[in-house]
A and B are shown apart, each in its own frame.
Chain A
């Protein structure tokens, strides 16, 4: 436990799903109080708070949360960063600790989406204009969605998938196998929004949302929250032996945005920033893809997960189709991926997702994941990416060997 390291000592998440009788702050408070209890601490100790939320981001939810769990005057950072919002909140706390401004902090991610329909789906069409006139930076005279291709999330991630498929010969069935795996994994996770297994045939014959992704290959919308408590290595040394024994080291925390690319202006490139984040994280942690005991990656659509096998260097370059065929990312495979059920089945309340992934990996590294435990897991990686784009990768390691 070097004084420079940052450690996780508390983690919690609410179940993901639809909770009409809880408001946004109820969900955030549930995760917060549970994470604080898990860490054996209270708001009295916390030096810094970061709260991630997307859809109500202008409501200063960090301060609203303090009013429900404890107002101690500490600084609050309200964070929004696409689907990397929660992970960015974690990183804000980590940076505050690394900068020496704080030695114990709380990061919370929360979202209440209810039954919004498909993630990033079409908005209600506006009333037709009477007279065409060019508007905006593209000089467009009407809404171009569906006229000049699609820019909505299901279509963007579908096209990212077919680009890889055309280049490397991946089939629609191989993409569907990703969803088959994650839905099967979710059966073991009591916190998952859906816990229903699907056969490959059921997935392939379901409603086509945006080829090759059928309905069970698209993540649902929902409500949920997750929270983590982080401390400096120096502070950790002063803490109770039980807290130290369960502490998980944050060996790397990396955030990236899109570098310029020729095609990026018309079709977001979800690959390059993920590769750059992963490579930087492996370098920082001194850990390679072969060292990972599990990965929680951003499977907002089945096509996305397959691409990220390659982007996170889990498979041979161009070999993501073979990787899923081999069974490697199943929970009994070489590199278990999304043993929580992933976004496809566990759910994707946007702001919570990047904290919930860290909760999952930390819980596994502590050996406390119950029926979904990967035996002997010591090292794990989390990945989130949101269009804009923002990508966060964290590498976590179990503490002293038990």
Chain B
């Protein structure tokens, strides 16, 4: 198996892969990036929290003007945290329904000159993927 690295530090490639987040120790606000102080309560202490792999689709768009068309989405994770990622295995807007349940999946987003794979994450519909799931894709509609 080639060496792998997550595309962003808040993706952990453990078993199973999952997201982590900085969490404000005072108010619990979640941040994927490094923060100097909490934007909600101004405290300066943070801890790290693991986030759920399942959630509910909140918003989406089929991006047409791109080299490889893909679907972007915003997902509200069970137990807290909102994340943006590609929606995988969906081909048509009509397949997206209010309150759609999704689950995290990973794919190879690139390989560097040393053969290291950059692993990204996206979300697939939880109850039977309507479009079928191609491996290692960007959720494209080719």
Contact = CB atoms under 8 A, between A and B. Distances in A.
Contacts of B68: 146
B32 A265 contact: yes
A162 interface: yes
Interface stretch (A59-67, A202-210, A239-247): A202-210
B127 interface: no
A159 B7 contact: no
Interface in A197-245: 207-212
Q: When A and B form their complex, which 6 residue pairs have the shortest distance between CB atoms, in order from nearest?
A: A139-B9, A158-B61, A163-B59, A149-B72, A208-B64, A211-B62
Contacts of A166: 57-59, 96-99
Nearest to A166: B98
B19 to A, nearest CB: 11
Interface of B: 5-10, 29-34, 39-40, 57-66, 68, 70, 72-74, 76, 80-86, 93, 96-99, 109-110, 112-114, 116, 118, 120-122, 138
Contacts of B74: 149, 159, 163, 263, 266-267
Contact of A149 (B7, B30, B84): B84
Given A159-B74, A262-B30, A210 B64 contact: yes
Given A122-B66, A149-B84, A141 B138 contact: no
A144 interface: yes
Residue of B10, B70, B112, B120 most packed against chain A (CB within 10 A): B112
A263 B65 contact: no
Nearest to A159: B59
B7 A147 contact: yes
20 contacts: A137-B34, A140-B9, A141-B118, A142-B7, A144-B120, A147-B7, A147-B109, A148-B86, A149-B86, A161-B61, A162-B96, A163-B58, A166-B96, A166-B97, A208-B62, A211-B63, A212-B93, A262-B82, A265-B31, A267-B74
B61 A260 contact: no
B65 to A, nearest CB: 5
A142 B76 contact: no
A176 B112 CA distance: 43
A276 B112 CA distance: 47
Q: Per DSSP, are chain A's interface residues mostly helix, strand or loop, or mixed?
A: loop
A155 B60 CA distance: 9
B22 to A, nearest CB: 10
A148 B64 contact: no
A260 B76 contact: no
Interface of A: 118, 121-122, 128-132, 134, 136-142, 144, 146-151, 154-155, 158-163, 166-167, 172, 207-212, 260, 262-263, 265-267
Contacts of A155: 61, 63, 72
A25 B57 CA distance: 47
Given A150-B63, A155-B72, A211-B93, A263 B58 contact: yes
B62 to A, nearest CB: 4
A172 B61 CA distance: 12
A389 to B, nearest CB: 13
Contacts of B93: 172, 211-212
B7 to A, nearest CB: 6
A131 B85 contact: no
Contacts of A158: 61
Contact of B61 (A132, A138, A150): A150
Nearest to A136: B33
Given A140-B7, A146-B138, 19 more contacts: A132-B118, A146-B68, A148-B84, A148-B85, A148-B121, A150-B61, A154-B63, A155-B61, A162-B59, A163-B74, A166-B59, A166-B99, A207-B64, A210-B61, A211-B64, A260-B29, A260-B39, A263-B58, A263-B82
